[in-house]
Amino acid sequence: MALLLILSIGTGCAVIGRGKDFRPIEENTLSQVTPGKTTAADVVKLFGPPSQIVKLSNGNAYVYDRSLSKATGLWFVFVTFANYDTQYDRIVFFINNNDLVTHYGSSFKSNGASYGLPF
């Protein structure tokens, strides 16, 4: 009976998962964007439809978000350990009332998502 109890406590399973939100943003594509010359249509052609369009007093902001998630989990009979890491890529283009990009900001962190020990 004690052996059965020990074996049931020691049994479990492990899971490793990965999830992507949309397609990754290619950082080198930003070199094709020139503030004052690149139009909103050019941005959509290069990066696809934005995740979000924010209306501003002097134009719009096109927001592109992508994420990469990695998860690790260990399930035992009485206890569960899990680690979930999500990192994001984001580009925001500021577009004036003439449909020209005035400036943009970017952050590329999705490659930093990692599997980890869940404790």
Torsion from C-alpha of 41, 43, 49, 50, nearest 10 degrees: -120
Domain extents in the chain = 19-112
pTM attached to this predicted model: 0.72
CATH architecture of 19-112: 2-Layer Sandwich (3.30)
Low-confidence ranges of the chain (pLDDT < 50): none
- What is the CA 116 to chain-centroid distance, rounded? 17
Per residue in 24-58, pLDDT tens? 678 889 999 999 999 999 999 999 999 999 999 99
pLDDT recorded at residue 3: 55
Torsion from C-alpha of 109, 112, 117, 119, nearest 10 degrees: -30
